Every structure is written in C-alpha cells, then in structure tokens.
Amino acid sequence: YTGDGNNGHGDFKILNNIFKNASLVGGNIYLGRYASSTPVVVSGNKFAAASLEDAMYVQDHSRYGVSISASDNTFGIQ
C-alpha cells in the first residue's frame, strides 16, 4: 500500500486474514512512504511470521506520520 508520492487518505484496515508466507522480503504487508496520514489498523490476522515487525514493513513512517494500530493478531502459525 503506497500513496504514490501523496498521503493516502481515509481508513485503511487489514482485518481477519491468514498470511502463511513468512519469507517475503519486508514481510507480508508493505506500507510505502507517504502511505497514510491516518492510523493503519491491523487486527484479527494470523501470520506465519513470528511478530508484527517480521510481518510488515513501514518505510519512513516516523517522518511521514504512518502509524499502526495493531491488536488481536496471532503469530507463528504453521
């Protein structure tokens, strides 16, 4: 998910998915720079990756205001 050089807008939610591939470079979820000016909600998902940090990559989030609201995710599934 990227904003193509502009801030994304509106709600962006990743809810109740199963991500079985733990070996993707940068994780299953990639948020590019300028991706969002509102929190991205990641909730109720199941990941093969061991942690949220392993499951997703956020580029330049502290500089451009991308924040993650994560809850109720399960990690390390087989």
Q: Give per-residue pLDDT as tens, 2-61.
A: 656 566 666 778 899 999 986 777 788 877 655 556 678 889 999 999 998 889 887 765
Give the largest Cα separation in the chain, rounded.
37
Tell me the C-alpha to C-alpha distance, in Å, between residue 4 and each of 14, 17, 25, 33, 72.
19, 25, 20, 8, 30
Q: Are 57 and 29 in contact (CB under 8 A)?
A: yes
Query: What is d(CA 25, CA 40) in angstroms, rounded to the nearest whole number?
Result: 20
**pTM for the structure as a whole:** 0.74
